[in-house]
Structure 1
Amino acid sequence: MTEYSVIDEFSRFEEACRILAAGTGPVAVDVERASGFRYSQRAYLVQVYRRDAGVFLFDAPSLGDFSPLQAAIGDAEWVFHAASQDLPSLRELGLEPSVIFDTELAARLLGHERVGLAAVVEDTIGITLKKEHSAADWSTRPLPASWLEYAALDVLHLVDVRDRIAEELEEQQKVEFAAQEFSATLAQPPRPPREDPWRRLSGLHQVKGARNLAVARSLWEAREAYAQQQDTSPGRLVPDRALVAAVLAGPQSKQALAGVSAFTGRASRTELDRWWKAIVRGRETEDLPKTRVPSDALPPPRAWVDRNPEADARLKLARPAIEEVAEGLHMPTENLLKPESLRRLAWAPPALTTDAVGAELAALGARPWQIEQTAQKIVDAFVEAAQSPDPAIAPGS
């Protein structure tokens, strides 16, 4: 087993950056977080590999200022496996690539049956990786040697994989497809904060009435504040199901709350005052949440035949047409066109011209290559549906 060490001193970090700057070719980059253990999605370890430089493991909390690394590799192509997962954490450190290559996304476009890192490495260059520490608590210090080897292997072979994947893209004439997807991933803006994030509590559908929803909201907010204070994943303090159980039990005293058997977790009993105060706040607030939240979500397709039979006919003809194109391109249908985009077009179509459908697809986030492959097929399917004597039972449905 190769022994790797974590760089946590700034002088060693600067020297590593000088070595990386003198390396050649693309730079493989990966991040380890502590999801499920810590409150934030911050990076705890940043792994970097470059040919003629080697592998470096950087301790993100200790180093803090990553500007030397940005200066060293900022102009190079950064190679990721599932870049969208790592870019937010890297940006928190001030690390921003100018161009990327995503081996996971490219593998999808190429029609690989398995797209996890270990599978793609094995399928492209024949090396087997062990993925035994992917769910580890990477905030642990010191990091065990076996974890460091795992982290190093995440980037050690990635540039070789990138080169083989690039050859496959050439062979399948998908270089431009991939380039557009990579650019879109890099340009993807941060997700806006969710409105009423407490409504994502698992099991909240069991809670009825505005007052009980206010209690659930208050408990969620109390847990969120405490989790942030403790830098601990909220679900490790008190699971969602325990918060919902507390609401459903309707305890009339702190002691009764303590007696709710399903109210469990690391902090359910030790922070009983905190949770009881949250329940009281929820019961006393005059700011009651709405029991129903307006949504622009479409009805489930199974309901379309009754609610919008013309849309149902359009979708039933367009969906197999898009699936046929995807099959011809040897890629998953969802990578050719998001199913939600097709559903929205079918529900409320624009003018049935290639330009109008293409413009609508672009507004829904489709890339030019996707529009080129699908817009005319969608128009043809929608026109056929409109010409059907019974739109609820369109041909091909």
Structure 2
Amino acid sequence: MTEFTVIDDPIEFQAACRLLAAGTGPVAVDVERASGFRYSQRAYLVQVFRRDAGVFLFDPPAIGDFSPLQAAIGDVEWVFHAASQDLPSLRELGLEPATIFDTELAARLLGHERVGLAAVVEDTLGITLKKEHSAADWSTRPLPDSWLDYAALDVLHLVDVRDAIAAELEEQGKSEFAAQEFAATLSQPPRPPREDPWRRLSGLHQVKGARGLAIARSLWEAREEFAQQQDTSPGRLVPDRSLVAAVLANPQSKQALAGVQAFNGRASRSQLDRWWDAIVRGREAPAVPRERGHSDALPPARAWSDRNPEADARLKLARSLVEAQAEELGMPTENLLKPETLRRVAWVPPELTTDAVASALADLGARPWQIDQTAQKIVDAFVEAGQSVDQPAAPES
């Protein structure tokens, strides 16, 4: 059994913060949410470990104000495994690290074949973790002892893993790569709200016509409103497929909607008035949505040879060189340079100089180390592609 202290009392919380402030070295931090169960992405458990202090499992709903914890550890390095997943929930609590170390991201840069927490702990420390409660409903109270033990293990070994990974980064000459990636993760702004988020309904492609889309939109909005009120994951109330089934069935009355067998889910009948009202609103909405949403997405690469053969040639040659460089560095290609970044530079290329390509990559979010490793190779590929496209076809014999 792992040693840990569960903190759900303000007085105990103050004492735990003092212990953590007096600890040594970085702090390991993890968050448990209730994704798939709750509407929000709030933290339902915050795990913290620091050497000479111990493991503390903080209960956010019971504690409320986390400013004492921020004051205790805010100025030291926080160690995460996949920090981008946890930072938004921590920021909701007012918890903001000054610097981070991300063992998952570092493992990718190092070329580890397995980058899940259990795999990285086993590969670096030889310790086997059981990952049996990762998809649990962490809003449950009281939390079972086995869940708490699992949560404690998520941070207990993380500082040791950090030290082993840091040594490996130094050995491979990738410490600066990692530092830039960590800083980029920490400074990443929140994602802007998605335009027309209802268009992500699974199965929406089956709905034809603007009026049908208006009904689907109205049902999605009604489900979102109710899910937020109940703090319940929308799909647990009525699955996407059920909303789409209701649109496709085109019921002419509330009773007919109730008779649609494929319209199911735990709130499909208890909230029947809500869903029927949404269908009526969608049918009567004066403004119907466009049949296709706005998108700045590039065409799929398989279509480039027909739509933009010059860009296709640039992409193929540059991708080959970037992949070879990633292999030489011993890391996945997507960690050397995001495929979308390369596609955008290939589709509308800047002036074919290293400085111009470097500037374009930076505008798309590439880090300095990535630019150093790829900009000249992209220029070389684009120049070669232009020469091959410009060459006249060989005459027929």
TM category (shorter chain) comes to over 0.9
The answer to whether the 8 Å contact 1:110/1:169 transfers is yes
Structure 1 residue 294: Cα displacement: 2.5
In the alignment, residue 287 of structure 2 is paired with which amino acid? D
Structure 1 residue 239: Cα displacement: 0.3
Match of 2:148 in 1: 148
| Cα deviations by residue, 1:40-88 (Å, 9 ceiling, x for unpaired) | 0000000000000000000011101000000000001000000000000
In the alignment, residue 215 of structure 1 is paired with which amino acid? I
The runs of 4+ residues in structure 1 deviating greater than 3 Å are: 2-5, 389-393
In the alignment, residue 78 of structure 2 is paired with which amino acid? W
- What is the rounded CA distance, in whole Å, between the counterparts of 1:221 and 1:82 in structure 2? 31
Would you say how many aligned residue pairs link Structure 1 and Structure 2? 393
Match of 2:93 in 1: 93
Match of 2:183 in 1: 183
Matched, 1:336 2:315: no
The answer to whether the 8 Å contact 2:34/2:41 transfers is yes
The answer to whether the 8 Å contact 1:313/1:391 transfers is no
- What is the rounded CA distance, in whole Å, between the counterparts of 1:5 and 1:48 in structure 2? 10
- What is the rounded CA distance, in whole Å, between the counterparts of 1:391 and 1:333 in structure 2? 30
Matched, 1:58 2:58: yes
> TM-score under structure 2 normalisation?
0.98
The answer to whether the 8 Å contact 1:70/1:95 transfers is yes
Matched, 1:102 2:106: no
3-state SS in 2 of match to 1:286: coil
- What is the rounded CA distance, in whole Å, between the counterparts of 2:292 and 2:41 in structure 1? 31
3-state SS in 2 of match to 1:30: strand
Distance 1:113 1:283, change over 3 A: same
The answer to whether the 8 Å contact 1:309/1:391 transfers is no
- What is the rounded CA distance, in whole Å, between the counterparts of 2:8 and 2:392 in structure 1? 65
> TM-score under structure 1 normalisation?
0.98
Match of 1:380 in 2: 380
Match of 2:251 in 1: 251
Match of 1:348 in 2: 348
3-state SS in 1 of match to 2:267: coil
- What is the rounded CA distance, in whole Å, between the counterparts of 2:17 and 2:297 in structure 1? 48
3-state SS in 1 of match to 2:247: helix
Structure 1 residue 389: Cα displacement: 4.6
The answer to whether the 8 Å contact 1:385/1:391 transfers is no
- What is the rounded CA distance, in whole Å, between the counterparts of 1:391 and 1:316 in structure 2? 17
- What is the rounded CA distance, in whole Å, between the counterparts of 2:293 and 2:224 in structure 1? 22
3-state SS in 1 of match to 2:350: coil
Match of 1:206 in 2: 206
- What is the rounded CA distance, in whole Å, between the counterparts of 1:389 and 1:32 in structure 2? 53
Match of 1:271 in 2: 271
| Cα deviations by residue, 1:207-235 (Å, 9 ceiling, x for unpaired) | 11111111000000000000011110000
In the alignment, residue 120 of structure 1 is paired with which amino acid? V
3-state SS in 1 of match to 2:133: coil
3-state SS in 2 of match to 1:388: helix
- What is the rounded CA distance, in whole Å, between the counterparts of 1:120 and 1:63 in structure 2? 32
The answer to whether the 8 Å contact 1:76/1:98 transfers is yes
Alpha-carbon RMSD across the aligned residues, in angstroms, is 1.2
- What is the rounded CA distance, in whole Å, between the counterparts of 1:125 and 1:41 in structure 2? 31
Match of 1:11 in 2: 11
* 1:1-397 alignment, distance < 5 Å: 1-2=1-2, 4-389=4-389
Structure 1 residue 3: Cα displacement: 5.7
- What is the rounded CA distance, in whole Å, between the counterparts of 2:365 and 2:283 in structure 1? 43
| Cα deviations by residue, 1:159-195 (Å, 9 ceiling, x for unpaired) | 0000000000000000000000000000000111111
* Structure 1: segments with no counterpart, 5+ residues: none
- What is the rounded CA distance, in whole Å, between the counterparts of 1:194 and 1:248 in structure 2? 25
The answer to whether the 8 Å contact 2:218/2:281 transfers is yes
Structure 1 residue 391: Cα displacement: 7.7
Identity %: 83
In the alignment, residue 309 of structure 2 is paired with which amino acid? P
Structure 1 residue 287: Cα displacement: 1.6
* Structure 2: segments with no counterpart, 5+ residues: none
